[in-house]
């Protein structure tokens, strides 16, 4: 384990590490020890303006496809070399257990990056439609605003398709986990991107994020974070009629239909709900179980939760590390305390801290959760699972669709056809069918208050392209 302090005193703008106009620094805290492990610049609006100007100068709307492929390949190669170091940083800055940091937190972003390379290799940027030639062109200057829970993944999911499309980027990382993002930018520097193609400005969201969202020279804002902040980003971006993609909150349902393999559905469902300490927007945080199998399901859940050890994120046996910050720790404990007051039955865990030092919350399960209660409706973003019984398939569908969100979820049934038929009625952007594996080429995004637009694969790539139609005299 590397105990160095990560001292970041410069921003990367126009191909150089520059002294920021903003004063002071933002401390980065290890949530397992509560010790300051580094800092990043506290940028201001002037820094945003300089970065956007650099991105605007670097933007070439006629950039060739071979040049885009070359840039993307160089970035992926440079990033892959740095993944072990980035994994270590992620464990330190946001508490991801080392087994998660070395796999989900870093190898999944690499798979996503290679997915974009595959898309770019075969994508047709020109298409004939009758007497029209339809062109797909780079959108322009992109503002990418990313969260702390999967710091590398979220950056890769925005910056890599932007580069592949021929866009230029100003990147604003979270304040809780920015160090891994600076390491990503160093990889892009190693890759030799032209000056201004990628710029990073760290600082307060209400300053940096808001300036990016309303900046007249930003063409497209891609934001991942809370629904409340996403609404503010959309409001500001709308003032200058710029494109917005929002990947926001979720309260996803894991629907176990009668006849499903209950043991497998529960085991996988608990693991999904607690992945990354529950700090996952697409976590299946509501488990819906038929009445006639409810007692059996609760017994299986208790047994499964017992395998989720909480502790030192550097211990390979640890499956749940700390909440990423004091604020998140307090938020999760507040949800647990209020759920107890709302009448939900505490099955496992509770609000008491697991350790004297660090932001550790026990994996917690509530049974008999009212679907309309706070715990049944709102995103906790911690290791808290709500178990809800239902009467029949119609009741299950009503409950599954009965929140403001629609990001992810799962359906388990005796066969895929039954599960797919049910899934067609669920208002959500992505559903796993009987444990179907993650696919980095499949589009990801939400219905309702879970967002606008899609990320990943071809559809995620197309978000970064404008469409132009040339009407020709003669049709072919």
Find the domain containing 432 and state its range: 253-439
CB 336 within 8 A of CB 351: yes
Asked if the structure places residue 476 within a domain, the reply is: no
pTM reported for the whole predicted model: 0.96
Q: Are residues 181 and 165 in the same domain?
A: yes
Where b means 16+ CB within 10 Å and e means fewer, 170-186 reads bbbbbbbbbbbbbbbbb
- In this structure, the answer to whether residues 294 and 425 fall within a common structural domain is yes
Torsional sign, CA 296, 297, 298, 302:
positive
Residue ranges of alpha helices (H) inside 25-150 are: 45-58, 65-94, 98-101, 107-122
Residues 95 and 128 in one domain: yes
Q: Are 178 and 293 part of one and the same domain? A: no
Same structural domain, 52 and 78:
yes
Q: What is the pLDDT of residue 476?
A: 63
β-bridge partners, 433: 411
pLDDT tens, position by position, 401-441: 999 999 999 999 999 999 999 999 999 999 999 999 999 99
Return the CATH number at 463: 3.40.605.10
Do residues 81 and 212 share a domain? yes
Which residue among 167, 188, 214, 281 is the active-site one? 281
Residue 140 inside a domain? The answer is: yes
Domain assignment present for residue 432? The answer is: yes
Which residues of the chain, if any, have pLDDT below 50?
Answer: none
Residues 12 and 63 in one domain: yes
- What was the pLDDT predicted at 39? 97
- Count the helix, strand and coil residues of the chain and give each as a percent rounded to the nearest 5: 40, 20, 40
**Same-domain check for residues 26 and 144:** yes
Give the number of domains in the chain.
Answer: 2
- With respect to residue 413, please indicate whether it lies within any of the assigned structural domains: yes
Is residue 281 annotated as part of the catalytic site, yes or no? yes
Identify whether 444 is part of a domain: no
Per-residue model confidence (pLDDT) at position 475: 64
Residue 445 lies in a domain: no
Catalytic residue flag (residue 379): no
User: What residues have CB less than 8 Å from 231, skipping those under 6 apart?
Assistant: none
Q: For 126, which DSSP code?
A: E
Burial category of 475 from C-beta neighbours within 10 Å (exposed 0-12, middle 13-18, buried 19 and up): exposed
Both 331 and 220 in a single domain? no
Domain check: are 235 and 265 in the same one? no
pLDDT of residue 2: 61
Show the tokens assigned to 276.
């990354």
Q: Is residue 475 part of a domain?
A: no
Answer yes or no: do 350 and 463 share one domain: no
- Asked, for residue 324, whether it belongs to a domain, the answer is yes
Domain CATH code at residue 365: 3.40.309.10
Q: State whether 58 and 150 are in the same domain.
A: yes
pLDDT digits (tens, 9 = 90+) for 38-78: 999 999 999 999 999 999 999 999 999 999 999 999 999 99
Beta-ladder partners of 361: 353
88, 93, 176, 247: the active-site residue = 247
């Amino acid at each position: 384990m590397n105990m160095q302090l990560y001292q970041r005193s410069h921003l990367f703008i126009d191909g150089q590490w520059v002294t920021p106009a903003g004063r002071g620094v933002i401390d980065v805290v290890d949530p397992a020890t509560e010790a300051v492990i580094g800092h990043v610049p506290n940028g201001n609006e002037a820094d945003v303006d300089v970065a956007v100007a650099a991105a605007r100068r670097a933007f070439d709307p006629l950039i060739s496809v071979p040049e885009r492929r070359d840039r993307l390949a160089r970035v992926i190669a440079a990033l892959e070399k740095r993944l072990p170091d980035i994994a270590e940083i992620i464990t330190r800055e946001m508490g991801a257990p080392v087994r998660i940091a070395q796999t989900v937190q870093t190898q999944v972003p690499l798979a996503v990056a290679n997915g974009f390379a595959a898309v770019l290799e075969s994508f047709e940027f020109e298409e004939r439609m009758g007497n029209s030639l339809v062109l797909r062109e780079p959108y322009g200057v992109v503002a990418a605003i990313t969260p702390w829970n999967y710091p590398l993944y979220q950056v890769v999911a925005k910056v890599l398709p932007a580069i592949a499309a021929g866009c230029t980027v100003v990147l604003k990382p979270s304040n809780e986990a920015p160090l891994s993002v600076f390491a990503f930018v160093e990889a892009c520097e190693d890759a030799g991107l032209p000056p201004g193609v990628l710029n990073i400005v760290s600082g307060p969201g209400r300053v940096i994020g808001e300036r990016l969202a309303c900046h007249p020279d930003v063409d497209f804002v891609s934001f991942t974070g809370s629904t409340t902040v996403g609404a503010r980003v959309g409001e500001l971006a709308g003032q200058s009629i710029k494109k917005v993609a929002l990947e926001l909150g979720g309260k996803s349902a894991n629907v176990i239909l009668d006849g499903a393999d209950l043991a497998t559905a529960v085991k996988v469902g608990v693991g999904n709900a607690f992945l990354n300490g529950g700090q996952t927007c697409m976590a299946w945080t509501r488990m819906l179980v038929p009445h006639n199998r409810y007692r059996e399901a609760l017994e299986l859940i208790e047994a499964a939760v017992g395998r989720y050890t909480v502790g030192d994120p550097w211990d390979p046996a640890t499956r749940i590390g700390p909440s990423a910050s004091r604020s998140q720790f307090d938020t999760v404990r507040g949800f647990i305390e209020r759920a107890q007051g709302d009448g939900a039955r505490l099955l496992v865990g509770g609000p008491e801290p697991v350790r004297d030092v660090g932001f550790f919350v026990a994996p917690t399960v509530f049974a008999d959760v009212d679907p309309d209660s706070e715990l049944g409706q709102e995103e906790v973003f911690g290791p808290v699972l709500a178990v809800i019984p239902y009467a029949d398939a119609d009741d299950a569908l009503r409950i599954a669709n009965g929140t403001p969100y629609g990001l992810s979820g799962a359906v388990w049934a005796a066969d895929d056809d039954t599960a797919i038929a049910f899934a067609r009625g669920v208002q959500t952007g992505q559903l796993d069918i009987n444990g179907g594996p993650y696919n980095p080429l499949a589009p990801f995004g939400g219905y309702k208050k879970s967002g606008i637009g899609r990320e990943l694969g071809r559809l995620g790539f197309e978000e970064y392209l404008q469409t132009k139609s040339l009407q020709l005299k003669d049709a072919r």
